Structure 1
């Protein structure tokens, strides 16, 4: 018992730091959102005509970013499991480049790429289409997808690396078509990593601020920009607290759903992809 008590003492500094930088501000936000014991600030989120629009735009953008991430990340993670170790290391470095790049430099690079006269606009002009993605929801989704792609690739690579490819060979040997073998054998075993990556990218997309603020337009703001506006310009801390609590509840619900389906998100933000229930049964 004394040994276990000493082990718990090791986590006390981390718990104290967590309480100081996370739980205390969250508790203050909750207290402000229900000032005077009233839920008016929560009711106004659904009646002011602006918040629901911003929330819907944020959810739609997060869904598009998540879809792009899984469509690009799954083949990339699969390729990483098939190549030799040296090339796999190079592919891993490419995935991690966004983590090593300054946030401001990365977003200003996207501003240059997407603005009028930039590479994207110049390319589409060759076909007679004057397309400008700067200050648009589409441009924001593209920039966010590049930033969040590693959060899809890493859990997928973890899940796909643990799949025994001899199972696919066995399915092929029994006469199964390659597509059917993938769908019936490989996909169920990788579903835990897919779910973990989907929830991780989606929840991170809900709280993105810098990329939408620099690449997007103020008229098409997302929920993080609305929170910033309410706190820094309108000084509506009570309404901002209510909106923050709502986003937090949605995020926690999504994480709980992910854990239920098989993706376990660790405390440091990485993902240990467990097999999905359907694959274990």
Structure 2
């Protein structure tokens, strides 16, 4: 509806409708056809192998159904200890990655373009190198005659054992997991409006008070999402614990590799893998209940 020169209403809805091109309705299931290649890829390379691992975990040597593999795992104290050790190491890796990664992500999200570009390059650089190469690099640095012990010896502090123990394992794992934590936190912090903190300061709040009461709560989805991601990845680690940890610091992934490579016990290895999968799903369930998966998927970059 429009007004002409004399101020009278003129109806032009029918004319506009006549000039519009006809709207073509999408065929039922049209969007599903576009997803079929991706769904087929996931079904072949993700769903089927996962289903096969779960199925193998309930098989015995003759191919029959059994829960003996799970009974063998939970009936031996050594496996329970390794399970608890895996959860402990993954938890410590998550805590230390958060302590180190939160300040880095904060500076990265609130700095100028030049500093941000340089820091982002430093964060992304480890992804351009194999994890095996990075692990061997840390082994060279932390060995008894490495750079750190050479500096300590020059200062008269003596030699410090930094490899083949829990200390070396934590250094290697935190270094490997730190980019995942920083990038997850950064994606959430970039979506926080800095005017909220400025308004709080203009109303009399101090810098630290405005941070803890405004900025930090808004960044909690990134904290929870980064912690979830780091914990899940750390729980399945194999290379770093195998090379930098001691004999008492081996995790579930090491037992799975030993069962497959040495004992050729694929069914028992599948049972351990399913237990590790259950831990992962429990973490997802806890995150969904406390924070909500929508918060993780709706973070802005």
Which residue number corresponds to residue 279 of structure 1?
A: none
Which residue number corresponds to residue 254 of structure 1?
A: 283
Number of residues paired by the alignment?
Answer: 271
1:72-87 mapped onto 2 (5 Å cutoff): 72-87=100-115
Which residue number corresponds to residue 36 of structure 2?
A: 12
**TM superposition shift of 1:131:** 1.3
CA distance in 2: counterparts of 1:209 and 1:4, whole angstroms: 47
Specify whether residues 46 and 31 from structure 1 end up closer, same or farther in structure 2 by C-alpha distance, changes over 3 A only: same
Alignment partner for residue 23 of structure 1, among 44, 47, 63?
Answer: 47
8 Å Cα contact 1:195-1:263 kept in structure 2: no
CA distance in 1: counterparts of 2:139 and 2:125, whole angstroms: 18
CA distance in 1: counterparts of 2:232 and 2:276, whole angstroms: 9
**TM superposition shift of 1:220:** 2.5
8 Å Cα contact 2:187-2:299 kept in structure 1: no
C-alpha distance after superposition, 1:128-177 (max 9, x if no partner): 34212211122111111111111111111111111122211222222223
**TM superposition shift of 1:127:** 4.5
8 Å Cα contact 2:191-2:299 kept in structure 1: no
Q: Secondary structure at the match of 1:37?
A: coil
**TM superposition shift of 1:273:** 5.5
Q: Secondary structure at the match of 1:50?
A: helix
Q: Secondary structure at the match of 1:11?
A: helix
**TM superposition shift of 1:87:** 1.7
Unpaired stretches in structure 1, ≥5 consecutive residues: 276-281
RMSD over aligned CA atoms reads 2.2
1:92-241 mapped onto 2 (5 Å cutoff): 92-125=120-153, 126-241=155-270
Unpaired stretches in structure 2, ≥5 consecutive residues: 1-24
Q: Secondary structure at the match of 2:219?
A: helix
Q: Which of the pair has more CA radius of gyration?
A: 2
Which residue number corresponds to residue 278 of structure 1?
A: none
TM-score after normalising by structure 1: 0.89
Specify whether residues 264 and 246 from structure 1 end up closer, same or farther in structure 2 by C-alpha distance, changes over 3 A only: same
C-alpha distance after superposition, 1:72-131 (max 9, x if no partner): 111111111222112211111100011001222211101101111112222343353421
C-alpha distance after superposition, 1:221-275 (max 9, x if no partner): 1111111001111222121111110110110221233244446499xxxx64549
Bigger shift: 65-74 or 114-123?
A: 114-123
**TM superposition shift of 1:40:** 2.1
Alignment partner for residue 32 of structure 1, among 49, 56, 59?
Answer: 56
Q: Secondary structure at the match of 1:234?
A: coil
CA distance in 2: counterparts of 1:124 and 1:74, whole angstroms: 29
